């Protein structure tokens, strides 16, 4: 029987949130903690001790036996080390349950085995995790029991960032400072802080776990390295927003319940475009919390899927020929007194503050298009971006008809005198209610689209952390705001200078604005004429991290140092080569141990059948003989492709790390893998289904 509950009764039940702190902390301590968070000051030891005591008692009441500093190293997943609350046994044989303020504020995981890109040598093991008090602690309840999880940043002994959160927090501070600086020049004397807020839509696939376990390519790499398309894919568009099947609905219900208890405001769920594909989206929140919540969402999707004998696939392209999965990052900027700086209002042509912010963002994206593209670079995303299912690999900004018209007026005449208003939706059906439609349409082919009061960065891969793209967006916008503020601070007439700045930025950076079909070849050619970078793969995107303009940008605002940027580039080259090496070895393994033996068995059975028919009645066996020849020919091609892949993969292993090795894997190993797959997929279409050694696309995508 289904258990029914009121969401309001369970929401945030496992979170040490503001309400819980107000209830449990002394008023003086609560005020000091809030001031520390609001003003970005260090947390004093006395306050920390009181907070940890109440946090520990609350967690123990929830059944927690252990605590962990929950952090996000540069592995792409979260990390944690669990310590129990017990201290040394007492003389009476009992134990004390302790958790000090020092343990709350600082952890010390071994940093030697996490990616550091040369920042740390293997023997230099010490690293620190530091509590992020702006992201609430939570109790995670699962088969391992209950664990108090404390969101933290992770850095080396010498202070370099070894994670996604540290630079994100730095970028938030930089953006807030420059935003308030700009707002003061526009006459705002009340706002004290600006916070980027984000809503992250998460796409994913679900397949039966039994199918997953016998697909070694999915087990080792997260994607199918071979697989022929079934007779039906997504061409009928019947899965998109279709009725949610009961098994999937039960899974979604359990996911929502867990997330709500963790304070994640999971709101929207639906079937996506591809069969077996789905989406979950939460409500907006402060960006570092949103990034934490997205990691919690991905972990919860995997964990709950396991309980339902399902497997959640977060790879950007688990099935070739079928739409891949992304993560839409909806970014806005809000002041502490509730002003959304990306809200154009009813008459955006009169909203000077909005127009200046908008044009600064256009400048930021135009100047740093390569860096923004790099922030979404991932091995899996190389299969998705530019494939007419996701944004193209060319960065552009969609503004829509209304804002495009306002900018055109500014550029052509120097003044904007009107805005295209909302119009009534004409359906032609009298019984339907009348309402005003939005002033602009949406554009799903745009990488960076304005959608009413926010920008939607649609490039991020489904498996990736949203930390890096949001760090980049925050920092490039901070730079644009700073540049504008420096110019306005020197002006004799600020109002006139603001008008001139808006007009100039609109004209200088209009090349980044594109409202048309991003999938078209015409746009590729037009973007080249405009001089926009077209970065097609991860290897070509990585150099943007170490360009001098990037280093100047990040060092100027204290977000990342030259050494940290160089290390991140090295890590990404290494990740690229390692992932492709794993894929190559996996394809070699399944081809040798599964594909070729299955084909040999099939050809043996087919040949014996032909001989038996001939011996019995000398019937015409030309069809069977032709099939045998066709399969044998493909088997020979498969063996040749396997040999070429083994050679290419072997050469790659011998190479030193860095860009050269990554380029080799991209240009050689990946290419040979594709050639081998062609013959294997053709064999799948010829062999008896009972003899094929693994579940087909049809089995996995349509039988859940």
Question: Do 616 and 473 reside in the same domain of the chain?
Answer: no
Percentage with pLDDT > 90 across the chain: 70
pLDDT at position 536, please? Answer: 94
Considering the chain, what percentage of its residues have pLDDT values greater than 70?
94
- Secondary-structure breakdown of the chain: helix, strand, coil percentages, each rounded to the nearest 5: 50, 15, 35
Check if the beta carbon of residue 459 is closer than 8 Å to that of residue 316. no
DSSP class of residue 183 equals H
Domain of 136 in residue numbering reads as 7-163
Please give the average per-residue pLDDT across 293-315, as a whole number: 97
Average model confidence (pLDDT) across the chain: 91
* Mean per-residue pLDDT, 450-463: 95
Q: What is the pLDDT of residues 645-697, one digit of tens each?
A: 999 999 999 998 899 999 999 999 999 999 999 999 999 999 999 999 999 99
pLDDT attached to residue 122: 58
CATH number for the domain spanning 222: value is: 3.30.590.10
- 2, pLDDT greater than 80: no
The CATH number for 60's domain is: 3.10.20.70
pLDDT, position 425: 65
Residues 510, 636: one domain? no
pLDDT tens for each residue of 585-594: 999 999 999 9
Q: Is the pLDDT of residue 124 over 70?
A: no
Residues 52 and 109 in one domain: yes
Same domain, 147 and 187: no
What distance in Å separates the CA atoms of residue 256 and residue 278, rounded to the nearest whole number?
Answer: 14
pLDDT digits (tens, 9 = 90+) for 531-557: 999 999 999 999 999 999 999 999 999
Is residue 350 within 8 Å of residue 340, measured between CB atoms? no
Domain termination residue (choose one: 517, 532, 560) = 560
Residue 222 covered by a domain: yes
Q: Based on the fold, state whether residues 671 and 543 are members of the same structural domain.
A: no
Is the residue at 251 inside a domain?
A: yes
Cβ pair 194, 182 in contact under 8 A: no
Output the pLDDT for position 187: 94
- Among residues 526, 560, 594, the one where a domain terminates is 560
Tell me the pLDDT band of 358, cut-offs 50, 70 and 90: very high
Mean pLDDT computed over 305-318: 97
Average pLDDT over residues 257-267: 96
Rounded Cα–Cα distance for residues 599 and 634 (Å): 10
- Same domain for 221 and 155? no
Q: What are the structure tokens assigned to 92, written together?
A: 């009476």
360 within some domain: yes
- Residues with Cβ within 8 Å of 495's Cβ and at least 6 positions away in sequence, in order, are none
Q: Tell me, what's the pLDDT at 111? A: 64
Whether 205 has a pLDDT exceeding 60, the answer reads: yes
Burial class (CB in 10 A: 0-12, 13-18, 19+), 134: middle
Q: Which CATH number does the domain housing residue 682 bear?
A: 1.20.120.1560
Separation CA 305–CA 314 (nearest Å): 12
Q: Quick one: 87 and 226 in the same domain?
A: no
* Minimum mean pLDDT range among 342-346, 434-438, 513-517, 685-689: 434-438
* Whether pLDDT at 339 is above 90: yes
- pLDDT value at residue 264: 96
Do the domain assignments include residue 566? no
Asked, for residue 1, whether it belongs to a domain, the answer is no
Q: How far apart are CA 646 and CA 59, in angstroms?
A: 52
Q: Name the pairing type of β-strands 448-450 and 64-70.
A: unpaired
Residue 207: closest CA among 67, 295, 93, 318: 318
Q: What's the total number of domains in the chain?
A: 3
Secondary element (H or E) of residue 442: none
If asked whether residues 459 and 591 sit together in one domain, one would say no
Residue 565 lies in a domain: no
What is the helix (H) or strand (E) element at residue 154, kind and residue range? strand 145-156
Question: Between 467-489 and 494-508, two packed helices, what is the crossing angle to 10 degrees?
Answer: 130
Alpha helix (H) ranges present in 223-350?
Answer: 246-261, 287-307
Helix segments in 328-466, DSSP class H: 352-367, 369-375, 400-413
Tell me: do 155 and 181 sit in the same domain: no
Q: What's the residue count for the chain? A: 704
The reported pLDDT for the residue numbered 236 is 80
Query: Which whole-number Å values give the CA distances from 412 to 69, 351, 439, 503, 510, in the listed order?
Result: 56, 19, 22, 9, 12
Predicted confidence (pLDDT) at residue 156 exceeds the cutoff of 90: no
Do 159 and 177 belong together in one domain?
no
Summarised one tens digit per residue, pLDDT across range 421-442 is 777 767 677 777 776 667 667 7
Instruction: Look at residue 336 and tell me if it is in a domain.
Output: yes
Query: What long-range pairs does 7-12 form, CB within 8 A, spacing at least 24?
Result: 7/260, 10/257, 10/260, 10/261, 11/260, 11/261, 11/263, 11/265, 12/260, 12/261, 12/262, 12/263
Residue 690 lies in a domain: yes
Distance (Å, whole) CA 238 – CA 343: 35
Given 120, 140, 163, which residue is the final one in a domain?
Answer: 163
CA distances from 669 to 638, 640, 663 (A): 15, 14, 10
Tell whether 343 and 480 lie within a shared domain: yes
Q: Is the pLDDT of residue 95 over 90?
A: no
Mean pLDDT computed over 631-641: 96
Q: Give yes or no: residues 530 and 588 share one domain.
A: no
| Whether the predicted pLDDT of 99 surpasses 70 | no
Are 401 and 330 in contact by the 8 Å Cβ rule? The answer is: no
Lowest mean pLDDT among 220-224, 340-344, 621-625: 621-625
- DSSP 8-state code for residue 342: T
| DSSP annotation string for 294-311 | HHHHHHHHHHHHHHTTEE
- Provide the whole-model pTM: 0.94
Question: For residues 150 and 66, is the Cβ–Cβ distance under 8 A?
Answer: no
- 230's tokens: 């079934």
* pLDDT for position 1: 40
Answer whether residue 604 shows pLDDT above 60.
Answer: yes
Nearest to 152 by CA among 14, 272, 292: 292
Confidence of residue 524 (pLDDT cuts 50, 70, 90): very high
Count of beta carbons in the 10 Å neighbourhood of residue 430: 6
Range from 78-92, 145-159, 486-500, 653-667 carrying the lowest mean pLDDT? 78-92
pLDDT of residue 114: 82
């Amino acid at each position: 029987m289904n258990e029914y509950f009121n969401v309001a009764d369970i929401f945030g039940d496992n979170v040490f949130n503001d309400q819980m702190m107000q209830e449990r902390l002394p008023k003086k301590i609560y005020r000091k903690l809030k001031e520390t968070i609001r003003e970005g000051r260090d947390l004093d030891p006395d306050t920390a001790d009181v907070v940890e005591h109440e946090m520990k008692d609350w967690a123990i009441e929830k059944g927690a036996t252990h605590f962990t500093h929950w952090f996000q190293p540069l592995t792409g997943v979260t990390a944690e080390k669990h310590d129990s609350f017990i201290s040394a046994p007492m003389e009476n044989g009992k134990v004390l349950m302790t958790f000090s303020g020092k343990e709350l504020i600082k952890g010390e995981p071994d940093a030697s085995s996490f990616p550091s890109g040369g920042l740390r040598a293997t023997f230099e093991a010490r690293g620190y995790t530091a509590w992020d008090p702006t992201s609430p602690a939570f109790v995670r309840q699962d088969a391992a029991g209950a664990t108090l999880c404390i969101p933290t940043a992770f850095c080396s002994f010498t202070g370099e960032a070894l994670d996604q959160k540290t630079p994100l927090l730095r970028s938030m501070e930089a953006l807030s400072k420059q935003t308030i600086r700009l707002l003061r020049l526009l006459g705002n004397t009340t706002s004290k802080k600006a916070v980027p807020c984000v809503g992250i839509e998460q796409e994913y696939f679900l397949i039966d776990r039994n199918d997953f376990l016998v697909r070694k390519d999915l087990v080792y790499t997260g994607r199918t390295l071979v697989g022929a398309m079934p007779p039906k894919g997504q061409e009928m568009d019947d899965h998109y927003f279709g009725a949610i099947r009961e098994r999937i609905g039960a899974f979604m219900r359990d996911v929502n319940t867990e997330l709500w208890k963790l304070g994640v405001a999971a709101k929207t769920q639906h079937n996506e475009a591809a069969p077996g594909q789905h989406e979950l989206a939460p409500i907006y929140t402060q960006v570092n919390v949103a990034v934490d919540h997205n990691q919690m969402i991905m972990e919860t999707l995997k964990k709950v899927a396991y309980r339902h004998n399902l497997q959640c696939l977060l790879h950007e392209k688990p099935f070739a020929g079928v739409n891949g999965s992304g993560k839409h990052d909806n970014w806005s900027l809000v002041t502490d007194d509730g002003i959304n700086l990306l809200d154009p209002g009813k008459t955006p042509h009169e909203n000077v503050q909005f127009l200046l912010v908008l044009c600064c963002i256009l400048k930021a994206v135009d100047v740093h298009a390569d860096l923004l593209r790099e922030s979404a670079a991932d091995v899996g995303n190389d299969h998705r971006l530019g494939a007419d299912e996701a944004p193209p690999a060319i960065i552009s900004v969609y503004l829509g008809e209304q804002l495009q018209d306002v900018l055109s007026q500014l550029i052509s005449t120097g003044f904007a005198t009107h805005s295209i208003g909302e119009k009534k939706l004409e359906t032609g059906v009298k019984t339907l209610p009348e309402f005003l439609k939005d002033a602009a349409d949406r554009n799903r082919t745009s990488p960076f689209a304005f959608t009413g009061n926010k920008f939607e960065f649609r490039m991020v891969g489904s498996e990736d952390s949203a930390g890096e793209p949001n760090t980049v967006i925050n920092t490039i916008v901070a730079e644009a705001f700073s540049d504008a503020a420096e110019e306005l601070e020197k002006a004799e007439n600020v109002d006139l200078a603001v008008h001139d700045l808006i007009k100039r930025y609109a004209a200088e950076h209009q090349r980044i604005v594109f409202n048309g079909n991003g999938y078209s070849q015409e746009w590729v050619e037009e973007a080249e004429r405009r001089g926009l970078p077209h970065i097609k793969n991860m290897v070509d995107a990585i150099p943007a991290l170490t360009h001098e303009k990037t280093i100047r940008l990040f060092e100027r605002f204290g977000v990342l140092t030259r050494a940290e940027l160089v290390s991140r580039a090295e890590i990404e080259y290494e990740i690229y080569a390692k992932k492709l090496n794993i894929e190559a070895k996996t394809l070699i393994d399944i081809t040798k141990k599964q594909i070729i033996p299955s084909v040999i068995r099939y050809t043996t059975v087919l040949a014996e059948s032909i001989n038996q028919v001939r011996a019995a009645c000398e019937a015409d066996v030309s069809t069977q003989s032709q099939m045998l020849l066709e399969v044998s020919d493909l088997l020979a091609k498969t063996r040749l492709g396997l040999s070429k892949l083994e050679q290419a993969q072997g050469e790659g292993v011998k190479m030193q790390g860095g860009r050269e090795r990554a380029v080799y894997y991209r240009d050689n190993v990946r290419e040979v893998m594709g050639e081998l797959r062609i013959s294997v997929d053709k064999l799948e279409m010829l062999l008896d289904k009972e003899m094929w050694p693994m579940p087909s696309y049809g089995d996995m995508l349509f039988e859940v």
